[in-house]
Amino acid sequence: MQIETLSLITAIQSIVLAAMLWMGSQSAAGSAGFSLRLRSVALGVEGLGWGALALQAWMTPAQLLLGGNALNLLAQALVVVAVRMLLGEPPRIRLVVVIALLGWMSVSWFGLIDPNYRLRTFFGSLAILANLLLQAQALLNGRSRARTLMLVLCAVSALLLLWRNAMLWFALVAPVSAAEQGVGNYLYLLFAGMQPVFASIAFLLMYSDVLQGKLRMLARTDALTGVSNRLAVGELAVKMLATAARTRQSVGVLMLDADHFKKVNDRFGHAGGDQVLLELMASVTATLRAGDEVGRVGGEEFVVLAPNTSLSGAVTLGERIRQTLATTPVIIDGEALNLTVSIGVAVALPGDRDVAGVLHRADMALYAAKHNGRDCVMSAVDLEVADAAREAVADVVR
């Protein structure tokens, strides 16, 4: 097969893939959707670069050198930005542009001013390797099969570049361009031509992973406050209790409920009530320690999970939260509203795996705090002491 024919096949393949990705990404929203469209543009640009190599008979050597390499380096730059945006990493656009420009200028210099195919290939390869490293750095900041596949492709591309340069530098007679017929050039173009398909598949798999991750996050996030919802609280509690069992530590559980919240909704409407909940969560979150988790389990009811916390520590944390909220007025419609909370505290001892049980004890303590005048903190132990005292009094009466 002629190099021109191989290049033409790769060009058609890349452009068709680009069109398919572009059409399939039109309904995709957010940065992930933009990265998918950017990846399709990169494929199209890459296809044009292969097309230039396929049509070399109708182009001057300077046009092929300057245009073909510009398209190739532009495609590489777009891929880097697309991958990093998809993975939530800084796109590093300035660095990518500098790499592309330096690579193109080096290739142009050793192609037209001081012709040297070995040096031209070497500096072009350095630019591509720099782009591969930027992709790899983003891919290593997480784990998934799709990321692993993309890392493997980056490694294969790097090895391909190293092999190509080794073939050039150790060859007795170096070729003068990539379009020159020869086993080395042919094999390089063959393997390089397979990259668009595999790289596109890996990118789509990563895109699917990102979307699934966002769906999982949405399914576990309270839409109003942005904290964990009831489902996520249960999962976090299971993980914390499992960790506590291994490390022989206790976990504090605090159940919070805004006092007289119905009056807030009646007075300020549901929009005002929502604003109060947002302010409440901001104050609670600012009070928590690193590692503590908060979640919403009801209308105005929240749970705080405090790992490595004893009962006394959990009560102290509850008092700190209560005092913070009691002394921090919430401004609604220009009016200062003093909000208080009732808090029930329980603790899961080392080895305790009963999530429902510890949440129930905290809920019962909260119920007692409500009936004890509100704006206070009560623990499950307080309830046990009170129950024991009542039983002792009953025994004396009997």
Q: What is the pLDDT of residues 318-331, one digit of tens each?
A: 999 999 998 888 88
Distances (CA, A) of 269 to 66, 266, 274: 66, 6, 9
Per-residue confidence at 109, pLDDT binned at 50, 70, 90? very high
Q: What is the pLDDT of residues 48-72, one digit of tens each?
A: 998 988 888 888 888 888 998 999 9
Per-residue confidence at 392, pLDDT binned at 50, 70, 90? very low
Alpha helices in 140-182 (DSSP H): 145-170
In whole angstroms, what is the distance from residue 341 CA to residue 301 CA?
10
In whole angstroms, what is the distance from residue 257 CA to residue 299 CA?
9
**Model confidence at 387: pLDDT above 80:** no
**Model confidence at 304: pLDDT above 90:** yes
Mean pLDDT to the nearest integer, 355-377? 91
Asked if residues 291 and 250 have their Cβ atoms less than 8 Å apart, the reply is no
Burial category of 47 from C-beta neighbours within 10 Å (exposed 0-12, middle 13-18, buried 19 and up): buried
Pairing of strands 251-258, 341-348: antiparallel
Write down the number of H helices and E strands in the chain.
12, 7
Angle at 367 between CA 363 and CA 370, to 5 degrees: 135
Distances (CA, A) of 386 to 86, 312, 378, 398: 56, 17, 11, 18
Q: Report the pLDDT value the prediction gives residue 178, as an integer from 0 to 100.
A: 52
Q: Report the pLDDT value the prediction gives residue 183, as an integer from 0 to 100.
A: 56
**Model confidence at 395: pLDDT above 50:** no
Q: What is the pLDDT of residues 120-160, one digit of tens each?
A: 989 999 999 999 999 999 999 988 889 999 999 999 889 88
Q: What is the pLDDT of residues 155-175, one digit of tens each?
A: 988 988 888 888 778 765 555
Which structural domains are found in the chain, ordered by start? Answer: 3-219 (1.20.1070.10), 230-397 (3.30.70.270)
In whole angstroms, what is the distance from residue 327 CA to residue 171 CA?
79
**Model confidence at 255: pLDDT above 70:** yes
Radius of gyration of the chain (CA): 32
**Model confidence at 119: pLDDT above 80:** yes
In whole angstroms, what is the distance from residue 327 CA to residue 220 CA?
31
**Model confidence at 185: pLDDT above 90:** no
Per-residue confidence at 42, pLDDT binned at 50, 70, 90? very high
The DSSP call for residue 57 is G
Q: Report the predicted TM-score, pTM, of the whole model to 2 decimal places.
A: 0.74
Query: 41 versus 393: which is more confidently predicted?
Result: 41
Burial category of 235 from C-beta neighbours within 10 Å (exposed 0-12, middle 13-18, buried 19 and up): middle
In whole angstroms, what is the distance from residue 216 CA to residue 276 CA?
27
What percentage of the chain has pLDDT greater than the value 90? 49
Per-residue confidence at 89, pLDDT binned at 50, 70, 90? very high
**Model confidence at 240: pLDDT above 80:** yes
Token digits of residue 212: 């699934």
**Model confidence at 223: pLDDT above 70:** yes
Residue 349's SS3 state is coil
Q: For the chain, what percentages of helix, strand and coil (3-state, to nearest 5) are there? A: 70, 10, 20
Q: Report the pLDDT value the prediction gives residue 323, as an integer from 0 to 100.
A: 93
In whole angstroms, what is the distance from residue 28 CA to residue 199 CA?
20
Asked if residues 42 and 88 have their Cβ atoms less than 8 Å apart, the reply is no
Which stretch of DSSP H or E encloses residue 347?
Answer: strand 341-348
**Model confidence at 396: pLDDT above 60:** no
Q: What is the pLDDT of residues 1-31, one digit of tens each?
A: 577 787 888 889 899 999 998 988 888 888 8
**Model confidence at 397: pLDDT above 50:** no
260: left (phi over 0), alpha (psi -120 to 50) or beta: left
Query: What integer best gives the mean pLDDT of the chain?
Result: 86
Asked if residues 178 and 118 have their Cβ atoms less than 8 Å apart, the reply is no
Asked if residues 193 and 133 have their Cβ atoms less than 8 Å apart, the reply is no
Q: What is the pLDDT of residues 27-40, one digit of tens each?
A: 888 888 899 999 99
Query: 316 versus 178: which is more confidently predicted?
Result: 316
**Model confidence at 337: pLDDT above 70:** yes
Asked if residues 376 and 369 have their Cβ atoms less than 8 Å apart, the reply is yes
